[in-house]
């Protein structure tokens, strides 16, 4: 996680945004009176929102945890998938 002050961000906006998007960095922009903001890429934001949706619903969360438990216990099976259109 990187931290920059508002002036530095303003003077180096492109390079800061490139760092966030290209290197998947999270950047805290510090401001007066602790009114800081966090800058993340759109991809990171979308991923975070998807994860919140998945674990924010108790049914989804329980299903994911049960699946994880099964995987850790080796309760998996492998299947070959036929290519689409081959019959």
Q: What is the pLDDT of residues 2-35, one digit of tens each?
A: 999 999 999 999 999 999 999 999 999 999 999 9
**Enclosing H/E stretch for 30:** strand 27-30
CB 39 within 8 A of CB 16: yes
Q: How far apart are CA 87 and CA 69, in angstroms?
A: 35
The pLDDT > 90 percentage for the chain reads: 78
pLDDT for res 87: 53
């Amino acid at each position: 996680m990187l931290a920059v002050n508002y002036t530095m961000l303003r003077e180096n906006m492109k390079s800061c945004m490139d760092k966030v998007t290209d290197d998947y960095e999270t950047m805290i922009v510090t401001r007066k009176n602790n009114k800081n903001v966090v800058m993340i890429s759109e991809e990171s934001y979308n991923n975070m929102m998807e994860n919140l949706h998945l674990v924010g619903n108790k049914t989804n969360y329980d299903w994911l945890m049960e699946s994880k438990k099964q995987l850790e216990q080796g309760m998996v099976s492998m299947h070959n998938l036929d290519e689409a259109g081959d019959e």
